Amino acid sequence: MQMIEPNNIPYPFTLLDTLNEGICMFDRQGRCLYVNCKGMEIVGKARDELLGKNMGGPFPERLGTRFYVEAQRAIEENHPIGIEIYDSLTKRWLALRYYPSSEGLSILILDITERKEFEQRKDDFINMASHELKTPVTALKGLTQVLIEQLTQAAMTEAISLLTMIDAQIDRLTKLVDDLLNVSKIQAGHLAYDRSPVDVDALVRETTALLQTSTPTHTLNVSGATQTVIIGDKDRLRQVIINLITNAIKYSPQANCIDILLSSTAESIHIAVRDYGIGIPKTAQQHIFDRFYRVDNKTIPGLGMGLYIAHEIVQYHGGKLTVESEEGKGSTFVISLPIS
């Protein structure tokens, strides 16, 4: 393509000047061929400072090396890439979309500051609300336990049975508040981890046995062994196993068993949780570990936090959480952890 003169923008490029999104186009050598008005505004430079110049020169360093690294990656992989970066000078959040082609690269720049601010307010609210909820819920749990003890001594069976139901609802509430708190901590990078030896087989068998006591609908079958002790956070890993098994139960209402398979290789251990339930559509599988993501399902309630937290915990341990699933047939979630 011929270079566009800064003072002589041809039609139909002139139309792009009315857009509220920035557009920059580069040739295969990385020279800027075109930039629209919004693009100039975002970059903070005039057209004659940009056109014909190399991407590395006129584009401000404050956008960070990621700006160039991702451009290079998009060209090499010949695949569109989207990133979000913070412009520290203008204090704006920008979404960059790189579209490579055989003739060069187009970059679409969107100002997403408002969306980011809204997300931040939402995160702040979740953080504050979960902290505020934690105290009364903990108090309620304690008081219920005391009452159950007193009523047991007074042999008031009917009241005990009602209170036990209240206690179970408080446990549900506690789990929700804890999940909200964990999500907030992950977002803020503050989720604390312990490090101690963890006997994987014992942890899985204990956790499964405990869950079985409150699961009348499904038989939880554990088979295999890893015969491995890893270094990690036992409580957090237990949280991951509980989440996968309770999901397996929840999303297989028509089935009556869950299989939990332990295995290992020279480098890693694997804990597979298989259910024979509703399964997950292919298109949803790539989002399943995103925060607050739920497959469109009106009948089974949930908030889409468990798998996000589980994924984060497994990643912290240097491992991977993966899923294989077929709609209508069931799902297998696999925790793979490196042997420390």
Instruction: Please identify, using beta-carbon distances, which residue of 104 and 279 lies nearer to ligand ADP.
Output: 279
Q: How far is the CB of 289 from ligand ADP (least distance, A)?
A: 8
- Would you call 3 helix, strand, or coil by DSSP? coil
Instruction: Please identify, using beta-carbon distances, which residue of 51 and 180 lies nearer to ligand ADP.
Output: 180
User: Virtual CA dihedral for 260, 221, 326, 295, nearest 10 degrees?
Assistant: -80
Q: Given the rule CB under 6 A, which residues bind ligand ADP?
A: 243, 247-248, 251, 275, 277-280, 288, 293-295, 297, 302-308, 331
Q: Which residues, listed in sequence order, are joined to residue 97 by a DSSP beta bridge?
A: 82, 108
Q: How far is the CB of 245 from ligand ADP (least distance, A)?
A: 9
Instruction: Please identify, using beta-carbon distances, which residue of 112 and 176 lies nearer to ligand ADP.
Output: 176
Residues in the chain: 340
Residue from 209, 193, 319 nearest 265 by CA: 319
Closest residue to ligand ADP, based on beta-carbon distance: 302
Instruction: Please identify, using beta-carbon distances, which residue of 111 and 275 lies nearer to ligand ADP.
Output: 275
Q: How far is the CB of 243 from ligand ADP (least distance, A)?
A: 6
Q: How far is the CB of 257 from ligand ADP (least distance, A)?
A: 13
Q: Are 109 and 96 in contact (CB under 8 A)?
A: yes
Q: How far is the CB of 253 from ligand ADP (least distance, A)?
A: 11
Q: How far is the CB of 305 from ligand ADP (least distance, A)?
A: 6
Q: Which residues contact 155 (CB under 8 A, 6 or more apart)?
A: none
Instruction: Please identify, using beta-carbon distances, which residue of 264 and 331 lies nearer to ligand ADP.
Output: 331
Supply the angle between the helices 157-188 and 306-316 in degrees, to the nearest 10. Answer: 60
C-alpha triplet 237, 243, 245: angle, nearest 5° = 105
Q: How far is the CB of 228 from ligand ADP (least distance, A)?
A: 25
Supply the angle between the helices 234-250 and 200-213 in degrees, to the nearest 10. Answer: 40
> Sheet containing 81-87: which strands, arranged edge to edge?
32-35, 22-27, 104-111, 92-101, 81-87
Instruction: Please identify, using beta-carbon distances, which residue of 185 and 294 lies nearer to ligand ADP.
Output: 294
Q: How far is CA 247 from the centre of its chain?
A: 17
Among left, alpha and beta (phi > 0; psi -120 to 50; other), residue 50 is: alpha
Instruction: Please identify, using beta-carbon distances, which residue of 115 and 329 lies nearer to ligand ADP.
Output: 329
